[in-house]
């Protein structure tokens, strides 16, 4: 747990630029990788910290944990070397 007196400015008060949007996406992916499903992810629960250049996700009181292995969670299919997912290639491979 990280306890902070000030985390940043809420992104709910303005339209986030591309840098902020990428940082938000990165932060969401990081918490999902740990199996955390936020359940209340909205702009008011995301802070932008200009010093760290990071989006901080807050307010986890409704979150749940997804205890399934990472490769069994929806939206987290591992990519194989050829770019296909779980052996289902979109391209025909000529051998």
Residue 39, CA distances (Å) to 3, 11, 46, 57, 79 in order: 21, 18, 13, 12, 26
Is the distance from CB of 48 to CB of 8 less than 8 angstroms? yes
Q: What is the pLDDT along the chain (95 residues), one digit of tens a residue?
A: 667 677 899 998 888 899 999 999 999 999 998 999 999 999 999 999 989 899 999 999 999 998 887 777 776 445 444 555 454 445 555 54
pLDDT of residue 80: 44
Q: What is the CATH number of domain 9-68?
A: 1.10.510.10
Strand order in the sheet with 46-49: 9-10, 46-49, 54-57
- Token pair for residue 20? 């902020």
Alpha helices in the chain (DSSP H): 18-33
Whole-model pTM over 0.75:
no
């Amino acid at each position: 747990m990280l306890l902070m007196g000030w985390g940043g400015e809420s992104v709910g008060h303005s339209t986030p630029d591309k840098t902020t949007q990428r940082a938000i996406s990165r932060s969401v992916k990081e918490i999902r990788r740990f199996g955390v499903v936020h359940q209340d992810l909205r702009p008011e629960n995301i802070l932008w910290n200009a010093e760290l250049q990071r989006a901080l996700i807050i307010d986890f009181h409704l979150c749940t944990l997804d205890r399934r292995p990472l490769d069994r969670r929806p939206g987290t299919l591992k990519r194989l070397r050829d770019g296909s997912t779980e052996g289902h290639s979109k391209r025909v491979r000529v051998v």
